């Protein structure tokens, strides 16, 4: 069964459809792999083997009975622990929600179940999705499968590590400032942040509601496209959900030449502060895009220089409001409810005990930024920068079909190395944040290993709002060319666990 865990979702889907393997066999292979390696990787916070096998058996029974199944029926998936799944723990990597079992499914989860995708468990993440390393999880960090002493990115490090460790062929992430794309970059996997509103936020525990977006993660561009098709689409339960037909992302991922595609290289993303090996692999990828027929030009987006500062006002402002509901009254943890404390004291004690230092920092920042007298200077200015960033994108997309940059300034850094320096942690997202602020779509895919440390480097492709299919066209062509050059996918280079 070792063989099954190395298959792509597409290959597994074909094997399942032909009857060569059962959903149970595929699930068991992955559950066994989790049992074998996850003590070291710690990608998962919760695995319910019996629950997973019940779902797999049900799929097998219905397939045997001749039921028409969806294209990914029986393929396993790792779910970020920020999405509500009925009856299963949903902690968001926080002590605050320990013991909470949602009474309902997030729309994304419901779509996965409707598509008969087998859910293996819930993956580790930075507390309430705040962070770039998964070290802010209250349950201990996830380790990068390429080097267990290094971070797997964040906040969705658990989902990305599960893919890279061959514990799951598919995963769900959420991306508010880069939490799908940066973990993908540092683990040698693929991750997509869809256009804001393309995938429902209903049942996603909100970080910053105007930025949050769930999206697909996998080891190949095509698998990511298949999962994208399963989860995207209008949802009346999310007021910002887009009501429009989406083109076939899987068909888009089959594109192999890029003749006539105009690719803009963003001058502001990729210079100073970016590791030499990251820049080297990026330059090589640019040459490859050109050889595939793309027309690569440099574009300037001057307001991007202010994106990080604007994000770290908008995000704390929104999260201080969103996290106000965790007060010990309704969900999870309650501290001091012993008859000796008032309701307000219980709320204060619960929040002090339940939130870790990064969450506390951001709640305080956001509360300050929104306070009367400061609102216009901070939150108001940040919103104006957001408009300027949107205009920069509009101008760039007037002459380009997609934009590109390195996804992350560095490869995976050592665990613990940035914990005392929040700003250097925040700088991990310098290239991914503009996309969230403007609401458009972005992908990260692996383009090689940095010569200085042998760790994966990611390239970011950015598409205009609603132009998600372009990510798959360019990503699919680039990946095919890279795989042809290497003779295999990048994870074949990863050391054995
Ligand atoms: N690293 C970013 C942050 O800390 C990303 C968060 C996210 O996308 N959820 O805010």
Q: Hey, is 99 helix, strand or coil?
A: coil
Mean pLDDT to the nearest integer, 363-383? 92
Structure token pair of residue 461: 């492709």
Q: Tens digits of per-residue pLDDT, 25-82?
A: 999 999 999 999 999 999 999 999 999 999 999 999 999 999 999 999 999 999 999 9
Asked if residues 354 and 335 have their Cβ atoms less than 8 Å apart, the reply is: yes
Q: Given pLDDT bands bounded at 50, 70 and 90, which one contains residue 1?
A: low
* CA 178 to centroid of ligand 1, rounded, Å: 6
Considering 8, 22, 179, 405, which one is annotated as catalytic? 179
* CA 155 to centroid of ligand 1, rounded, Å: 6
Q: 460 CB under 6 A from ligand 1?
A: no
Considering 22, 94, 155, 444, which one is annotated as catalytic? 155
Angle made by CA atoms 393, 397, 403, in degrees to the nearest 5: 80
CA distance 89 to 105: 12
CA distance 306 to 321: 23
* CA 43 to centroid of ligand 1, rounded, Å: 18
Q: Given pLDDT bands bounded at 50, 70 and 90, which one contains residue 271?
A: confident
Q: 446 CB under 6 A from ligand 1?
A: no
Instruction: Identify whether 155 is a catalytic site residue.
Output: yes
Mean pLDDT to the nearest integer, 276-280? 98
Return the pLDDT at 332: 87
Q: 315 CB under 6 A from ligand 1?
A: yes
CA distance 76 to 69: 15
Q: 197 CB under 6 A from ligand 1?
A: no
Asked if residues 400 and 297 have their Cβ atoms less than 8 Å apart, the reply is: yes
Return the pLDDT at 301: 98
* CA 113 to centroid of ligand 1, rounded, Å: 27
Return the pLDDT at 185: 98
Asked if residues 217 and 160 have their Cβ atoms less than 8 Å apart, the reply is: yes
Closest approach atom of ligand 1 to CA 156:
9
Q: 175 CB under 6 A from ligand 1?
A: yes
Return the pLDDT at 375: 87
Burial environment of residue 448 by CB neighbours within 10 A (0 to 12, 13 to 18, 19 or more) = buried
Asked if residues 187 and 412 have their Cβ atoms less than 8 Å apart, the reply is: yes
Q: 179 CB under 6 A from ligand 1?
A: yes
CA distance 300 to 409: 18
Structure token pair of residue 167: 């514990």
Whether the pLDDT of residue 465 is over 60: the answer is yes
> In the chain, pLDDT over 90 holds for what percent of residues?
97
Number of helices and strands (H, E) in the chain?
Answer: 17, 11
* CA 80 to centroid of ligand 1, rounded, Å: 14
* CA 470 to centroid of ligand 1, rounded, Å: 24
Return the pLDDT at 5: 98
Mutate to test the pocket of ligand 1, among 132, 133, 323, 428 (most ligand atoms within 8 A of CB): 132
Q: For residue 417, how far is the Cα from the chain centroid?
A: 22
Q: Given pLDDT bands bounded at 50, 70 and 90, which one contains residue 331?
A: confident
Closest approach atom of ligand 1 to CA 154:
1
Q: Which residues, in sequence order, are bridge partners of residue 266?
A: 299
CA distance 91 to 124: 9
What DSSP designation does 180 have? T
Q: Which residues, in sequence order, are bridge partners of residue 218?
A: 170, 190
Q: 130 CB under 6 A from ligand 1?
A: yes
Q: Which of 227, 210, 133 is nearest to 422 (CA)?
A: 133
Q: Whose CA is nearest to atom 5 of ligand 1?
A: 177
Q: 105 CB under 6 A from ligand 1?
A: no
Considering 80, 95, 122, 193, which one is annotated as catalytic? 80
Whether the pLDDT of residue 282 is over 70: the answer is yes
Asked if residues 431 and 408 have their Cβ atoms less than 8 Å apart, the reply is: yes
Q: Whose CA is nearest to atom 4 of ligand 1?
A: 131
Return the pLDDT at 488: 96
Residue with tokens 């000796």, as numbered in its chain: 340
**Averaged pLDDT score across all residues of the chain:** 97
Instruction: Identify whether 179 is a catalytic site residue.
Output: yes
Q: Given pLDDT bands bounded at 50, 70 and 90, which one contains residue 192?
A: very high
Q: 401 CB under 6 A from ligand 1?
A: no
Return the pLDDT at 272: 87
Query: Rounded to the nearest 5°, which phi and psi values hold at 218?
Result: -165, -175
Q: Distance of CA 242 to CAs 58, 199, 234, 394, 432, Å?
A: 32, 8, 6, 19, 22
Each residue of 16-55: b (16+ CB within 10 Å) or e? beeeebbbbbbbbbbbbbbeebbeebbbbbbbbeebbbeb
CA distance 85 to 82: 9
Return the pLDDT at 2: 60
Can you list the domains of the chain with their CATH numbers? 2-303+387-493 (3.90.1300.10)
Q: Whose CA is nearest to atom 6 of ligand 1?
A: 177
Ranking 68-72, 129-133, 268-272, 455-459 by mean pLDDT, the lowest is 268-272
Mean pLDDT to the nearest integer, 366-382? 91
- Mark out the alpha helices in 78-178 (DSSP H runs): 107-114, 157-164
Q: Given pLDDT bands bounded at 50, 70 and 90, which one contains residue 142?
A: very high
Return the pLDDT at 497: 94
Q: Tens digits of per-residue pLDDT, 292-322?
A: 999 999 999 999 999 999 999 999 999 999 9
Alpha-carbon radius of gyration of the chain: 21
């Amino acid at each position: 069964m070792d063989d099954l865990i190395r298959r792509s979702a597409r290959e597994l889907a074909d094997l399942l459809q032909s009857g060569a393997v059962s959903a149970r066999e595929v699930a068991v292979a992955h559950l066994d792999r989790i049992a074998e390696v996850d003590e070291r990787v710690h990608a998962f916070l919760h695995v319910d083997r019996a629950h997973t096998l019940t779902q797999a058996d049900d799929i097998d029974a219905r397939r045997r009975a001749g039921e028409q199944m969806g294209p990914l029926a029986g393929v396993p998936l790792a779910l970020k622990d920020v999405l509500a799944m009925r009856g299963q723990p949903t902690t968001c990597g926080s002590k605050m929600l320990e013991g909470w079992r949602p009474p309902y499914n997030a729309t994304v989860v419901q779509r996965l179940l409707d598509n008969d995708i087998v859910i293996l468990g819930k993956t580790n993440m930075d507390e309430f999705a705040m962070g770039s390393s998964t070290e802010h999880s209250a349950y201990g960090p996830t380790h990068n499968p390429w080097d267990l002493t290094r971070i797997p990115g964040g906040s969705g490090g658990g989902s990305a590590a599960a893919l890279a460790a061959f514990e799951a062929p598919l995963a769900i992430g959420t991306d508010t400032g880069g939490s799908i794309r940066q973990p993908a970059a540092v683990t040698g996997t693929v991750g997509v942040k869809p256009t804001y509103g393309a995938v429902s936020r209903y049942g996603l525990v909100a970080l910053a509601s105007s930025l949050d977006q769930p999206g697909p993660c996998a080891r190949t561009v095509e698998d990511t496209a298949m999962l994208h098709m399963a989860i995207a689409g209008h949802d009346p339960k999310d007021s910002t959900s887009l009501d429009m037909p989406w083109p076939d992302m899987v068909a888009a991922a089959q594109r192999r030449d890029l003749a006539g595609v105009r690719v803009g290289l963003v001058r502001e993303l990729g210079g100073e502060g970016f590791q030499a090996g990251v820049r080297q692999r990026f330059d090589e990828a640019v040459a490859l895009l050109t050889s595939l027929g793309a027309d690569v030009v440099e574009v300037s987006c001057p307001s991007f220089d202010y994106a990080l500062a604007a994000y770290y006002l908008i995000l704390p402002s929104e999260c201080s409001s969103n996290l106000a509901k965790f007060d010990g009254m309704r969900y999870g943890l309650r501290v001091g409810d012993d008859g000796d404390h008032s309701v307000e004291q219980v709320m204060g004690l619960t929040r002090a005990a339940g939130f870790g230092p990064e969450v506390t920092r951001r709640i305080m920042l956001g509360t300050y930024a929104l306070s009367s007298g400061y609102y216009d200077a901070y939150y108001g200015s940040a919103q104006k920068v957001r408009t300027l960033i949107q205009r920069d994108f509009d101008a760039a997309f007037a002459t380009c079909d997609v934009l590109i940059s390195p996804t992350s300034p560095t490869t995976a850094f050592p665990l613990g190395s940035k914990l005392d320096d929040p700003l250097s942690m925040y700088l991990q997202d310098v290239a991914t944040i503009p996309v969230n602020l403007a609401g458009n779509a972005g992908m990260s895919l692996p383009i090689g290993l940095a010569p200085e440390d042998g760790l994966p480097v990611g390239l970011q492709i950015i598409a205009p709002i609603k132009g998600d299919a372009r990510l798959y066209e360019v990503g699919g062509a680039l990946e095919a060319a890279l795989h042809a050059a290497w003779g295999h996918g990048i994870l074949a280079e990863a050391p054995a666990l």
